[in-house]
Amino acid sequence: MALDVAIACLKAVVMLLIALQVMAMGVYFERKVSAIIQDRIGANRAAILGFAGQGIVNTLVADPLKFLLKEDVRPAGADRFLHTLAPLAAVIPALGAFAVIPFGDVLEIGGRTINLQAASLDVGILYILAMASLGVYGVVLAGWASNNRWSLLGGIRGSAQMISYEIAMGLALIGVVVTYDTLDLQEMARRQGELIWGWLPAWGILSQPLAFLILFAAGIAESKRIPFDLPESESELVSGFFTEYSGAKHLMFMMSDFVEVVLVAALVTTLFFGGWQVPYLGREGFHFPWGTAIALPSLVVAILQILSFSVKLVFFTWLQIVIRWTLPRFRYDQLMRLGWKGLLPLSLLNVVVSAALVLLREGRT
């Protein structure tokens, strides 16, 4: 019993560590990739004992320390309770959503079979939708509680945007759920280990390409980053909903921003790119389609899977940052048009086509 609790805690810690590590990498990418794209050198100032590590010291040590040591300013007339609650309301649901993301298949150790997923829920993906939909409160409350018109505008924009894109996101997920025939993300990842024509891994991107595009776009919109960063839009609203935040609270908003980026990456990886799957790697080892088989112990398989998941996670985090520094911001009407007239009908189409294909495949009428 105590061992079970310990294992459950350990799994949660592993998932959290993966998420936070990739988040830290995201922050680093954000500074260095933007510098490369804009032909600058980027962060390289702070150093420990002469080690600047191309800005690693800057992003991982100096920046967070600076945030933590700065004065916490609360503007006059701001609502004391809600002003403090808002950053918490932004970051907690984003981190909580990682509980159902699988980071490996199963680990057989000491006669136990451990499912490498922090929480195996029957409702799986709906739980992520629930957490994502709670994330909007951080934005709305920060906007309202700051007693600042820019913040308020940012908060209003944020709530409208997140509600609009949640619909496209949910509908795109229906196509995915219909195809995999399950809501459990672990089961979805396992289904992607099957092979098409005996050699092609059946990753979701092949069966649900449209859902991938919709989900990725809606996911970036949910995390409120360029080209969808109207709640923040520093050229009009100073810093949008978190204009009036400083110090540790500002750090929490930044953190929730990057955690959401990693969450989108994790979701895309799990649903469309095999999650923890390594091509041809099964529970007993590699089985290549040309007949070669390499047996591996369960621990090695699990480590390879966690590695595979992490690499994909880092890739999609990086991709989102490149997108951020490549595209200009939408206008508000363009944002709404894309959400309601572009992604929503496309996701409806995707639901119909996926359902028809599943019916055909299973030969039902």
Partner 1 sequence: MSIPLFLIFAALTVASALVVIIHRNPIYCALGLVSTLFLLALLFLGLEAHMVAVLQIIVYAGAIVVLFLFVIMLLNLQVEERAMVPRPLIAVAAAGGILLGALVLVGIAQTPLAAPVPVHADYGGTEPLAERLFTTYLLPFELTSLLLLVAIVGAVVVGKRRA
The H or E element containing residue 294 is strand 293-295
Angle at 141 between CA 342 and CA 243, to 5 degrees: 85
104 vs 155, beta carbon nearer partner 1: 155
30, 63, 105, 166: residue in contact with partner 1 (rule CB under 8 A): 166
> Residue 21 is encoded by which pair of tokens?
């590590």
Q: Which residue has the tokens 């200009």?
A: 328
C-alpha to C-alpha distance for 317 and 260, rounded to whole angstroms: 10
Q: Least CB distance from residue 126 to partner 1, whole Å?
A: 5
> Any contact of residue 160 with partner 1 (CB under 8 A)?
yes
Candidate ranges 50-58, 111-119, 122-130, 302-310; the one touching partner 1 (CB under 8 A)? 122-130
Q: Least CB distance from residue 70 to partner 1, whole Å?
A: 28
> Any contact of residue 147 with partner 1 (CB under 8 A)?
no
Candidate ranges 16-24, 61-69, 119-127, 328-336; the one touching partner 1 (CB under 8 A)? 119-127
C-alpha to C-alpha distance for 66 and 279, rounded to whole angstroms: 43
74 vs 283, beta carbon nearer partner 1: 74
Q: Which three-class secondary structure state does DSSP give residue 200?
A: strand
C-alpha to C-alpha distance for 304 and 300, rounded to whole angstroms: 6
C-alpha to C-alpha distance for 118 and 17, rounded to whole angstroms: 12
> Any contact of residue 156 with partner 1 (CB under 8 A)?
yes
> Any contact of residue 163 with partner 1 (CB under 8 A)?
yes
Asked whether the beta carbons of 258 and 27 are under 8 A apart, the reply is yes
Per-residue contact flags (x/-) with partner 1 for residues 72 to 111, judged by CB under 8 A: -------x--x-----------------------------
86 class by beta-carbon count within 10 Å (0-12 exposed, 13-18 middle, 19+ buried): buried
Contacting residues toward partner 1, per CB under 8 A: 79, 82, 121-123, 126-127, 129-130, 132-134, 136-137, 140-141, 143-144, 152, 155-156, 159-160, 162-163, 166, 183
